[in-house]
Amino acid sequence: AQSVSQHNHHVILSEAASLELGCNYSYGGTVNLFWYVQYPGQHLQLLLKYFSGDPLVKGIKGFEAEFIKSKFSFNLRKPSVQWSDTAEYFCAVKTNAGKSTFGDGTTLTVKP
């Protein structure tokens, strides 16, 4: 069965710092990859997705993620975080059998 690992449970940054959240998955076949975000008091929202093509994917609010197939990774990045980026971030993997698995999430706290 596939699994998703998010290495950082809680990340604390100051505003304007750069962000990179790790996501690794275990599945040998074709995958679709997603990052979701949950702002305080809100529901999960899609941040960005990868299906095929350019491994560097750009999402909303200046986020991007890079799919590195050889490393089974899909790390999320942002060059300069803002206080409003404080949220919980979930990586998810969907296999070609349609099964989706979520990581346990990374809580990002941005200090003003």
Partner 1 sequence: EAGVAQSPRYKIIEKRQSVAFWCNPISGHATLYWYQQILGQGPKLLIQFQNNGVVDDSQLPKDRFSAERLKGVDSTLKIQPAKLEDSAVYLCASSLGAGQIDYGYTFGSGTRLTVV
Of the ranges 20-28, 62-70, 74-82, 97-105, which one interacts with partner 1 (CB under 8 A)?
A: 97-105
How close are the terminal C-alpha atoms of the chain, in Å?
41
Determine the size of the site formed for partner 1 (CB under 8 A).
Answer: 25
- Pairing assessment for the beta strands 100-102 and 31-38 based on DSSP bridges: unpaired
Enumerate helices (H) and strands (E) in the chain, giving the number of each.
0, 12
Cβ proximity to partner 1: between 1 and 112 the closer is: 1
CB of 83 to partner 1, least distance (A): 23
Provide the 3-class DSSP secondary structure of residue 16: coil
Q: Which is nearer to partner 1, 51 or 83 (CB)?
A: 51
Q: Residue 34, interface with partner 1 (CB under 8 A)?
A: yes
Angle, CA of 68, 45 and 105, to the nearest 5°: 60
Q: Residue 59: which residues within 8 A CB-CB, separation 6 or more? A: 35, 47, 48, 49, 65
Please report how close the Cβ of residue 57 comes to partner 1 at its closest, in angstroms. 12
Cβ closer to partner 1: 50 or 85? 50
Return residues touching partner 1 (CB under 8 A).
4, 6, 30, 32, 34, 36, 42-46, 49, 51, 90, 92, 94, 96, 98-105
